[in-house]
Homo-oligomer: A and B are copies of this chain.
Amino acid sequence: MSAPRPEFARKSGSAGQRPRSRIQKRNRQIILDAALEVFSTHGFRGATLDQIALEAGLSKPNLLYYFDNKDTIHRDLLTQLLDTWLDPLRMLDPRGDPQTEIMAYMRRKLEMSRAYPRESRLFANEILQGAPRIEPFIRAELRPLVDAKAQLLTDWARAGRIAPIDPYHLIFSIWALTQHYADFAAQIGMIRGDGHDPLDGAEPFLEALYTRLLAP
């Protein structure tokens, strides 16, 4: 007879249910990993279930046994990503030394570009397309967080502890500079030579840049 979906996968309104069996856990992870690979380079519409299935080493119907549809896979990936995407900014500590804190934030973001370039590209793809799927998240979570941290930066600037620069542009600059190494890795690789690590030398450069920018 036709196999019913396992309970946990029936309706995954929000991600985070844990698979029951070991096979479930393993295959869901394999699929998400393959999907991340494909979605991050081709975008949502450009990716096909066949590609993902091939990448995962599973059959397409098998994919759809674990996930209701293409959209669900994509949403689960984004949800998983967004969960941790804001942590570096959240960690910006009002009690710390301003320059140290901002520098540490930049380093955490750079480390994320190094460790999770595919996630960065998945995010970039989503934003390029107008952020249709994560607009609510950006408005409800990211925006207030950025507003709060911008206020903190303003306070620091007012107190003369960092240079008086626009806090929003400061944050955007950190995003732009760090994510660039993941999002444009293909271009950087072609320019610097293919054996070259795109991030080589990035950290000292960014340290110099922000040291000079932030000095009061």
- Kindly report how many copies of this chain are found in the complex they form together: 2
Q: Which residue of B has the minimal Cβ distance to A121?
A: B128
Contact check, B43 vs A186: say whether CB atoms are below 8 A apart: no
Contact check, B209 vs A191: say whether CB atoms are below 8 A apart: no
Is the C-beta of A16 less than 8 angstroms from some C-beta in chain B? no
Contact check, A128 vs B127: say whether CB atoms are below 8 A apart: no
Contact check, B138 vs A42: say whether CB atoms are below 8 A apart: no
Is the C-beta of A130 less than 8 angstroms from some C-beta in chain B? yes
Q: Given A142-B191, A212-B212, are A169 and B205 also a contact pair (CB < 8 Å)?
A: yes
Contact check, B183 vs A138: say whether CB atoms are below 8 A apart: no
Name the B residues within 8 Å of A128 (CB-CB): 40-41, 43, 121, 124-125, 128, 183, 186
Q: Which of these binds chain B: A61-69, A75-83, A100-108, A170-178?
A: A170-178
